[in-house]
Amino acid sequence: MNFQKVVIIAEKTNYTEKTNMYSEELDFSTEKITTDFIEALREVGYQIVYYENPKKFLENISLHKNDIVFATLWGGKHSRNKRSIIPAICEAYDVCFVGADAYVQALCQDKFLTKLYLKNFNFLLPRAVKISTVDELEKLHTLDFLPCIIKPNDEACSIGISSRSMAYSMDEVKKIGLELLSHYSPILIEEFISGNEISLCCAGSKHDLNILEAVEIKINDEPVGNRIWSYDNKRIGIGTSSRHIITDSFPQKYLKEAARLFYNLGKVDCCRIDGKLQNGNFYIIELSPDCSLSKKCFMANAFYHNNFTYPAMLNQLIYYASQDYS
């Protein structure tokens, strides 16, 4: 299908001195990211229609029956359903969109539910406990795994995660968990896996996985190791991060399993499989079908390695979506 117009639904925000690891705007696109995105699509010939929220898009949806929507930019409010809203609207009104469908978004937004799904694949998974209330936390007296990391179960973009999210004792589990429960519910208490921080970047249509690259993040040119890749690094800028393509040296059995997982998910277009590589073993931390599509993101690095420019990458994602739609 040929589309003349691309619909962009995204907040435009800029972080301020009041922004912290609990701020919902961490899940929003910054003004620069949104502007870069729009300019890149214009460069490859598309007209852009911009809405700042799904409500305004829905009010005008009859105008977009022959257009394509980027459903990956809108961050939404604190809700476990936020990533599913735009794909669900598009499906209900038969409008083509780029990104995972509502089912995949809902599945992957829930980290504990994702773990249950991933048991069908040959990956390793950190052990975890989901806690919904203070009472449940108080009744938790022991864990089979320490240290552990404590984070929101239904958030992304390192929201609610910092260098202070690691617990080495049950006293610390209770203290950190109690603080986090005052902002989010449920929370996830997860075994901390030390190792290289890797994202397997997958992109393609439902029947043709076109991009599969292993991308490692380093801090100050050193592997992440026993540190946390968190809000502190992403938003405050503690440490200089860099991304490195390591596909050729990454265990091939996990790349094959990543391809099987991608096809099993169905309508995705692009997805990150985020995890830790420890002594040749790959532990999945989470699935990110709502991954960043900024110029410097993991996914962009995977496309650059395959000789795509940034505008060409976005155009290719539109092609994948059109293949799934037709």
Q: pLDDT tens digits for 270-322?
A: 999 999 999 999 999 999 998 889 999 999 999 999 999 999 999 999 999 99
Query: Strands, E, within 143-233: which ranges?
Result: 148-152, 166-167, 187-191, 196-205, 208-219, 222-223
Q: Widest CA span of the chain, in angstroms?
A: 59
Closest by CA to 302, choosing from 204, 183, 159, is 204
Indicate the fold that domain 5-99 takes in CATH.
Rossmann fold (3.40.50)
Q: pLDDT tens digits for 114-140?
A: 999 999 999 999 999 999 999 999 999
Q: pLDDT tens digits for 68-110?
A: 999 887 776 667 788 899 999 999 999 999 999 999 999 999 9
pLDDT at 20: 60
Residue range(s) of every CATH 3.30.470.20 domain in the chain: 107-123+194-308
Between CA 59 and CA 253 the distance in angstroms is 47
Q: Which CATH architecture has domain 128-191?
A: 2-Layer Sandwich (3.30)
- Res 220 pLDDT > 70: yes
Alpha helices in the chain (DSSP H): 31-43, 54-59, 85-92, 102-109, 111-118, 134-138, 170-181, 231, 252-265, 298-305, 310-325
Q: Which CATH architecture has domain 107-123+194-308?
A: 2-Layer Sandwich (3.30)
